[in-house]
Amino acid sequence: MKGKTTIILRCLDRDEIPKPTLALEYTFGRRAKGHNTPKDIANFWELGGGTSLLDLIPVPITTTNIRTLSIVLVLDLSKPNELWPAMESLLQVTRKHVDRIITKLGQTNPKAATEIKQKMWNNLPKDHPDRELIDPFPIPLIIIGSKYDLFHEFDSEMKKIIYKTLRFVSHYYGASLVFTSKSEALLLKTRTLINHLAFGFDRGKSMSVDQNKPLFIPAGMDSLSQIGPPPAAESDIGKLNAQTPMDLWNKVFEKAFPPKNIGVFKEVKDPAQDPQYAEYEVDVMRGQKNQWYHMLRITEFREAQLAMLPCLGVHEPRRTKCVDGLEIRPAQHPLNTSVLRS
């Protein structure tokens, strides 16, 4: 567990024992900026399972909330061989869907779509030397490196590569970057960045880029000149045949930390098949629904075949089918009802 739930609970001042996240989970929090002022509400969607549940990313991202939406990506610093593949997959899928939503919004509300595109540059001063060299994420992004306590024990050269790479990626995407652990002081720094996006609180102007300390870099405060080149010899860089700056950093990073095959990633268990959550009545009903759905698909396939017969000069009357005592009429469709175990 990378600590996503712990971070959310700390942001909301909830003294609860964090539980493993199953698929996509939701919670919310209320905060007031001052005394006798209305409380703002922030909705939190937490995705579990790492890269195994990428299909769920589009669920909480809609045209309704895209103007106030922010993304928080939590990476496990203690597993550098999985870091880049996980980061790349999650950000690519998220960005692709966000771009699609903004395009869709632009069809009905061009002004709102334009404001979103302009807003992503707000964190970078107009005179920043890197404005033409980076490609900000379309909505606010925070990258959190978790398990800093374990990462801190790494060899200094290993840490240097991870430090510089995450600084580059975060700066390139116009994101904030923070390292955290179970330490209360680090959790408070993480909370500062998240509450800035969720409730509009001041994020402060502090910054930490010391390689011997946890990173804390609010969006727009870093620069390519401060980050420096990828940590590799010039002769090695020339052999990598990188097409873009991001590709170059990727190749340098993965040379030091060869990525594990995607199949090595730990797949989240389907809670519907976990005996720990077994409920007889629910399981029976789910089985019936699955069977009904299966037979309905067969019936619809048969109907599609029958619809083609007139084209071949063959005519067959439409008939009602009975499957295991359930009457299925070709023109009818069941309600979209799902029975899930929690």
Domain count, the chain: 2
Q: What are 275-309's pLDDT values in tens digits? A: 656 777 787 888 888 777 767 767 766 666 666 55
Identify each DSSP E strand in 129-283 by its residue range: 141-146, 176-179, 216-217
Residues 178 and 297 grouped into a single domain: no
- pLDDT score at 218: 95
Residues 53 and 106 in one domain: yes
Q: Encode pLDDT of 218-270 as tens digits.
A: 999 999 999 999 988 877 887 888 899 999 999 999 999 999 764 444 444 55
**321-341: per-residue pLDDT in tens?**
444 444 444 443 334 433 333
342 belongs to a structural domain: no
Tokens of 210: 């010391």
Report the pLDDT averaged over residues 196-216: 91
* Residue 189 maps to a domain: yes
Is residue 336 included in any domain, yes or no? no
β-bridge pairing 176-179 and 141-146: parallel
Same domain, 293 and 219: no
**Residue where a domain terminates, one of 211, 234, 264:** 264
The reported pLDDT for the residue numbered 242 is 87
Question: Full-prediction pTM beyond 0.95?
Answer: no
Which whole-number Å values give the CA distances from 305 to 19, 138, 318, in the listed order? 49, 46, 12
Integer Cα distance of 50 and 65 in angstroms: 23
Please tell me whether residues 73 and 172 are part of one structural domain. Answer: yes
Q: What's the pLDDT at 271?
A: 59
- 120 and 64 part of one domain: yes
Q: Tell whether the torsion through CA atoms of 227, 230, 235 and 240 is positive or negative.
A: negative
321 plus 172 within the same structural domain: no
Instruction: Count the Cβ atoms, other than its own, within 10 Å of residue 18.
Output: 15
Residue written as token pair 């629904």: 289
| 285 and 199 within one domain | no
Residue with tokens 């690519």: 92
Which residue is listed with tokens 């699955």?
290
Domain-ending residue, one of 264, 283, 298: 264
E strand spans, 185-244: 216-217
> For residues 161 and 84, what is the distance between their CA atoms, to the nearest angstrom?
12
Q: Flag whether 321 is in a domain.
A: yes
Q: Are 323 and 196 found together in one domain? A: no
Q: Is 15 helix (H, G, I), strand (E, B) or coil?
A: coil
Q: Looking at residue 323, what is its pLDDT? A: 42
Q: How far is CA 32 from the centre of its chain?
A: 27
∠106-111-112 over CA atoms, to 5°?
70
> In the chain, what is the straight-line distance between the N-terminal and C-terminal CA atoms, in Å?
19
Asked whether residue 152 falls in the same domain as residue 301, the answer is no
* Tens digit of each residue's pLDDT (9 = 90 or more) over 4-29: 888 887 777 777 776 777 788 888 88
Instruction: Give the residue from 214, 241, 264 where a domain finishes.
Output: 264
Within a domain: 138: yes
Q: Give per-residue burial for 35-70: e unless 16+ CB within 10 Å, then b.
A: eeeeeeebebbbbbbbbebbeebeeebebeebeebb
Residue type, 24: L
**Domain that includes residue 190, residue range:** 4-264
Residue 158 corresponds to which tokens in the numbers above? 């290993």
- Is residue 85 a contact partner of residue 46, using CB atoms and an 8 Å limit? no
* Over residues 201-225, mean pLDDT: 93
DSSP 3-state of 130:
coil
Spatial distance between the Cα atoms of 286 and 269, rounded to a whole number of angstroms: 18
Same domain, yes or no, for 259 and 280?
Answer: no
- pLDDT tens digits, one per residue of 96-110: 999 999 999 999 999
* pLDDT at residue 306, as a whole number: 62
Residue 17, in any domain of the structure: yes
Q: Quick one: which of 239, 60, 87, 98 has its CA closest to 172?
A: 87
The CATH number for 92's domain is 3.40.50.300
- Predicted confidence at residue 36, as pLDDT, reads 78
- Are residues 194 and 313 both part of a single domain? no
pLDDT in tens, 61-78: 999 999 999 999 999 999
| Residues 123 and 247 reside in one and the same domain | yes
